[in-house]
Each structure stands twice: as structure tokens, then as C-alpha cells.
Chains A and B, each alone.
Chain A
Amino acid sequence: MIIVIDALNRHKFPKLLDEMFKLRARVFGDRLGWDVNIVNGRERDHFDDLDPAYVIGLDDDGDVVSCVRALQTTGPHMLADVFSAILDGEPPIRSATIWESTRFCVDTKRLARGTGRNTVSYATCELMLGSLEYAQASGITDIITVIDPLMDRVLKRSDNAPYDYVGKIADMGKVPALAALLDCTDERITRLRNFAGIHHDVFVAEDEIAAAENFDSAAENNATPRVCADLAQYCDDQISTAATEKEKYAALRLRAALADRIRSGSGMRA
């Protein structure tokens, strides 16, 4: 499942964003050894203060398993600044219809190998699909993305090879980084969908995820019998009134999570 979080809705998803910054610290700091700033186990830089959009992948339990960050190339962005070594002193590309994508990563520890749901390959393809479709719907025709050679190979293996590269390969700590170009066309999206065997809408309704996030904290803070009964009733209502398979699935998942909270709540009272 893919969710897009930006300055307009991020107040609803503090936990998902925190998980995302922790994932970035594990990937770019610990695993790849990039020269990034990690505070308190979270990787952030000043581009995160510029209201970027994050495309985030969640597994079936609703945990963050992948993420990528998008910025407009007309405004401040990484290739114009910290990644300028890639451009070898040349000024960056700027265009109304080109976005820059950075910090693409997938949680290889949490996810299984192989293919099918909740695997590294599936999560990678799902995130790429989510980014391409979000950009395309926004009137963006091309994405310039800063990646390492490993991700470059992953893109090629997924029938999603960049159509070209800009600048040169530059050192970013232990590994080199490069800037690749991807078109946001129906042709590329179809190729990627066929490769991954993903034929459904990858985006999840924002309200479902926000509800899950709120219920999680409500249950943790105050698991009184009254609240639990109300929540259980809410879930049953959601399940019986679900209009689509996806809604029903989300409601069932919520009730499963909630059942766990009710048990731990009564345990504490005993």
C-alpha cells in the first residue's frame, strides 16, 4: 500500500513519518554508509524542512517498509546543492514538469526475499509505481533521481531502466551516487506493473491509515472498557458497511489490531 504524505496532511501521520526517518537512518547511515546526519536514530537533512512530498510504502501490518522524497526542480533541491558533485560544476536542470526524487529506500531487514506480497522486490516495485503515478497525475513528465549503482541495477532488473543519466558518478561516502532520468509515461508504468504482477490501485485511502494511527495511540494511552467497546463497535460497523474489498480488508485489519489492545487493556485492570 502506498500513501503520499506532504505538508498538507503530515499532522495526521506523525508515527509514519517518524518510522520513515528511522528507516532512512538504517539504510543510508548503517547499511550504505552515506555521509548523512543521524540524530537520535533518525536521518534528516534540511531538504526535509522544505515541505517535500514523501511517497511511503506500508506492508500488510501498516508498518513503513519503503520511502522516497520528491521536490520540484524549479525550487531548492539536492542536485542544485549537496549533490552538485554529480553535475561536475554544471548548473542543474530546472523545469516545471520535472521533479527530483531522492532517498529512495526499502527495508531489506523487515521484508522477505523472493516475490509476492511483503517481499523486497514487491515493495520496491510498488514504491516505484506509486512515485511514477503520483508524479504523472501531477502533470510531471520526467523524474530525475539520485541513486547508487545498486539501485540502478534494481531499476534495470525491474524492467524500469532509466532512459539516460545526467552528469557523472560521484562519491557519497562509501558508495558512489549518480543521477538517472525516468519518464512518467503509461508505457513505463505498464512495463513495471507487468513485471511486478501488480494490477490493482496501489494507493490506500488516507483516512483509513489516519484512523489506524489514531486508534493505535488512543488504545495505548487509555484502554478503558468503554472506549474499547466503542472501538469494537466502530470496526464492526466499518466491516459491514465496507463498499470495496480494500475497505473491508482495512477494517478487518483494524479490528484485529484492536482485539489485541482490548486483551492487554483488561489484563492491566485485573
Chain B
Amino acid sequence: MHKLPGVYLDYDLFDLGALPDASEDFVGFLFNIREKFGLDDVAYAGMNPINGSVFGHVTYGDAWKMHYVEHGFHRIDPTLQKARRSIAPVDWSRLERDQDFRRVFDDARDFGIHDQGLTIPVRGPYGDIGGLSVTSSLSRTEWNKLKSDVIVGLQSVAVHVHDMVIRSDSLSNLLKTPNLSQREIEVLQWISAGKSQQDIADILTISNRTVEVHLRSARHKLYALTTAQAVGRAISMGLIYPG
């Protein structure tokens, strides 16, 4: 089978779920994404529908943050309000240059922020929504090249940061229990016993890529960026036995 892009191995982003107090360092995580992917700025915004709380973490400078909040731009910002209704990443060139767009980006330009960017919309299972936005001042050609190089990795980190932010909200603690399928547990159990993906594929008589699909789903449900983390958490939760 075809090899999957090694998004989890290529980027040694630190794992938010591994931090003792994860809520402390969302911004550090965004700066890390900025460095790894070669971007100008990275911003996350999300909403927990259970209590209506809104979260924002950005790498923008304080001056722009204050200006943005003072003018209530989050209520009209099309990179939040419009882009979140797409299922695919929205390149900002797709957004109409309407009054709202110009209000936000005419001011943004004065703060040295470009209107070339991309928003990755995230949807969670409980109606929680979020978006990871990134900006770049590269030429259009270079930007398109960069986008196709990092899009798979950005999808993964967007969902990861969203899940961690929503999970940090104490009201959603009730929803934390991971809901793993028998197959996902089985695959993790074999991994912890030291088997390779191909071994597991042979044991379960499924394809290597299907093993990878179950593994990725298990990592997602355990809020883990790496397989080692997922195995560790599955053991600590009693979902699998230590290998």
C-alpha cells in the first residue's frame, strides 16, 4: 500500500496533552507551529457550545490584539465568521472583499499583518467549532507551494489545538472519556506488544493502511500527536495492558 505522509513524525511539535497544565501554553504551541511550518502568524479561535465560552490564542503582537478586541473585530472577521462554515481549509483569497473584510484588513495592514492566509475550520462531535488561521507574506507562488507542503500537517495540528482548548474548559470534562472501537484498542494493544503496523495488518488480516486509519483515529480520540503518547494514555486509562 501507499505510504501515508509522516505528519506525526516530521514535526516534533510538543504535545499539548502531555503538559501538566496544558492551558498555560497554547500560545507557545502556536509559536511552535509558526516556526515548524514557516508562517508569519498563527491564531486559534474556538467556541464551546455547552456554555457558550469563546477562546482565542494568537501569535500576533499585543498592539493588534488590543486594537482587534477594542473594535469588536471578532464579530465581523470573515476569517472566523465565514471560514468556519466550510469543511475544507479556506484560502482568504476565496473570501469576498466586502465591507467586513476591508474593515478588518485595512486596519490589519497598519499593524503589518497581511491578508494572505488560510483558515482551517474544525468541527468537534458536540457542536464545538473552531478555526486555526495562519498568515504568510510569501509571494503567491511560494505561498501556494508552502500550502500544499504543509496542509496535511496543519489539518492535524488544527484539530489537536482545538481539542486541547475545548478539553481545558472544565465544563466539558464530562465529555472526556475516549470512545475507542474494539479495532482501535486491538491495534494499540499490538503496538504496545512491540508489533509493527505491517505485523498487525497480517495478524488482523486487514491492510497496512487500514491499521494506520485506526491508529490515527485512536490518537485523535486520546488527544495524542504521537503513537507512543496514545499507547501511554491507553495504558494509564486501563484500555489496554502494558506490553
When A72-B123, A93-B214 are in contact, do A99 and B87 touch as well, CB less than 8 Å? yes
Partner pick for A74 among B90, B159, B206, B213, CB 8 A cutoff: B159
When A75-B125, A80-B125 are in contact, do A52 and B87 touch as well, CB less than 8 Å? yes
Does A8 sit at the interface, judged by CB under 8 A? yes
A139 and B155 contact, CB distance less than 8 A: yes
Q: A161 to chain B: closest CB distance in Å?
A: 12
Tell me the A residues contacting B by CB distance below 8 Å. 4, 6-8, 51-53, 70-72, 74-76, 80, 87, 90-99, 134, 137-142, 163-164, 166, 181, 183, 185, 187-188
Tell me the B residues contacting A by CB distance below 8 Å. 1-2, 4-5, 7, 82-83, 85-90, 94-95, 120, 122-125, 127, 148, 151-156, 158-160, 179-183, 206-207, 209-210, 213-214, 216-217, 220-221
Q: B220 to chain A: closest CB distance in Å?
A: 5
A138 and B89 contact, CB distance less than 8 A: yes
Partner pick for B209 among A52, A71, A99, A164, CB 8 A cutoff: A164
Q: A20 to chain B: closest CB distance in Å?
A: 16
In order of increasing CB-CB distance, the 8 nearest A-B pairs are A75-B123, A139-B151, A96-B159, A7-B85, A138-B88, A139-B155, A90-B181, A164-B210
When A91-B181, A183-B209 are in contact, do A137 and B125 touch as well, CB less than 8 Å? no
A8 and B101 CA atoms in complex are apart in Å by 14
Q: A11 to chain B: closest CB distance in Å?
A: 10
A95 and B213 contact, CB distance less than 8 A: yes
A141 and B207 contact, CB distance less than 8 A: no
Known contacts A6-B85, A52-B87, A134-B88; 5 further A-B pairs (Cβ under 8 A): A53-B88, A74-B122, A80-B125, A95-B216, A164-B210
A73 and B170 CA atoms in complex are apart in Å by 24
A77 and B221 CA atoms in complex are apart in Å by 16
Q: Which residues of the other chain, A, contact B4 by a CB distance below 8 angstroms?
A: 141
B209 and A95 contact, CB distance less than 8 A: no
Would you mind naming 16 contact pairs between A and B with Cβ atoms under 8 Å apart?
A: A6-B88, A8-B86, A51-B86, A71-B87, A74-B122, A74-B123, A91-B179, A94-B220, A96-B122, A96-B158, A96-B160, A138-B89, A142-B213, A163-B207, A166-B210, A188-B2
